[in-house]
Structure 1
């Protein structure tokens, strides 16, 4: 939601009321690699060091994110993501999207999108997976995708209520999780080598 808010040019103190009724789901098409970095700091006089703080990054990952809601609102989101008012980044300013976003508004339910949208993994990752693509993990708001078979549920505190730096607030929500097959036979890489891109493996 923060990504959409930035694309729309919302200030951190602006209301998020129109986001309340949205439902959200995500599918992990390429898990990538978890990296850990650390940061150090010193006092102004340079005499004392502050405790180390760690930062975690997900490299080479690809996700399918699905938002369900009023069509007019979703079309406004898509337009904003194509022409963002503020620079977009994934969690931290040092992590902009590696490729342009490609939002689409479709006539399908949230669960259908997570189940049926073609695999978004890079060609090199598909080749690494071999002849049998893996099951794709998903997470979705509870009850938002009855078409999917869930393995369980958990409660997380990540629903934005306010991005105000003086009073940042997040609410609790229940999330269902599970795995779904890679949709369609087109998920397999072609054998003629015409889709090879050496830079995709860098």
Structure 2
């Protein structure tokens, strides 16, 4: 098996899993449906194309910088007639950074790697209004599992965020992966894409396991050492008269 790692960093991201009508929420981390959609777009696939090979990939994401939630309001008018659409709420993650990965057969992973480096359709972070601020590609790793690759990848948080936690030599990061049979209790989300066809979008349920990875902090600052100092030592030979 081989693993393709990607980083998602930008001023805004939005990863909807249950957005409906005028309220468009975001999950706290990239969804499998969004990442599979990004890869399919990079390959140049149409929305009606078969997704079976991409859906079969094992998916995981590491939260390197959780970001902050941001709410915005969206107004629009109908193209025909110019009538106003209902005002909608849009939720985003600001200043977030994630490391996501997919695991699968070597040939498919290498094809995806080439597509991510030279995409047919440009990638975006959940919505078209959210372009990436860094290169998406983090490389391909052969003979590694998805979990091993996520554990070994350096911390990708912004430098200012790393310095903010400079007292810590290592950082615990949340990792979310496709659940397997022996993972025990798992979360269930409806973000397993079956079809992106605009006339028949279909998403299935997916089990998600949670764990923690520990990575070094490159901005760690060792605490300053204070030399031993006795302020009255100079009075050692003094005598009172």
TM-score, length-scaled by structure 1: 0.82
Larger deviation, residues 92-101 vs 78-87: 92-101
- Are 2:164 and 1:128 equivalent residues in the alignment? yes
3-state SS, counterpart of residue 138 of structure 2: coil
Check whether the contact 2:67–2:93 (CA below 8 A) recurs between aligned residues: yes
The answer on 1:169 being equivalent to 2:202 is yes
Question: Deviations for 1:3-48, whole angstroms, at most 9, x for unmatched residues?
Answer: 10010000101111212321000000111122111112456355xx
Correspondence for 2:22:
none
1:162-201 pair list within 5 angstroms: 162-182=195-215, 184=216, 187-189=217-219
How far off is 1:188 after superposition? Answer: 2.4
Which one of the candidate residues 78, 100, 103 is aligned to 1:65?
100
How many residues of Structure 1 are paired with residues of Structure 2 in the alignment? 182
Per-residue displacement from partner, 1:32-74 (whole Å, max 9, x unpaired)?
122111112456355xx54321111112111111101001100
Report if the CA contact (8 A) 1:81-1:103 is conserved: no
Aligned counterparts of 1:95 and 1:20: Cα–Cα separation in 2: 23
Aligned to 1:112: 148
Q: Gapped runs of 5+ residues in structure 1? A: 192-202
Distance 1:85 1:45, change over 3 A: closer
RMSD between aligned residues: 2.1
Q: Structure 2: give runs of 5+ residues left out of the alignment.
A: 1-35, 222-241
Q: Distance in 2 between matches of 1:171 and 1:151?
A: 20
- Residue 178 (structure 2) pairs with residue 141 (structure 1): yes
Q: Give the structure, 1 or 2, with the largest relative contact order (CA under 8 Å, sep 6 or more).
A: 2
Question: Whose radius of gyration is greater, 1 or 2?
Answer: 2
Aligned mate of 2:88, from 43, 53, 66: 53
The change in CA–CA distance for 1:127 and 1:93 in structure 2 (over 3 A counts) is same
Runs of 4 or more above 3 Å deviation: 41-46
Contact 1:141 1:176 (8 Å CA) reproduced: yes
Aligned residue for 1:127, secondary structure, equals: helix
> In structure 1, what is the Cα distance between the partners aligned to 2:197 and 2:51?
11
Contact 2:167 2:220 in 1 (8 A): no
Change in 2 beyond 3 A, CA 1:7/1:45? closer
Q: Distance in 1 between matches of 2:199 and 2:206?
A: 23
> Which protein has the bigger strand share?
2
1:37 alignment partner in structure 2: 72
Q: Distance in 1 between matches of 2:120 and 2:214?
A: 36
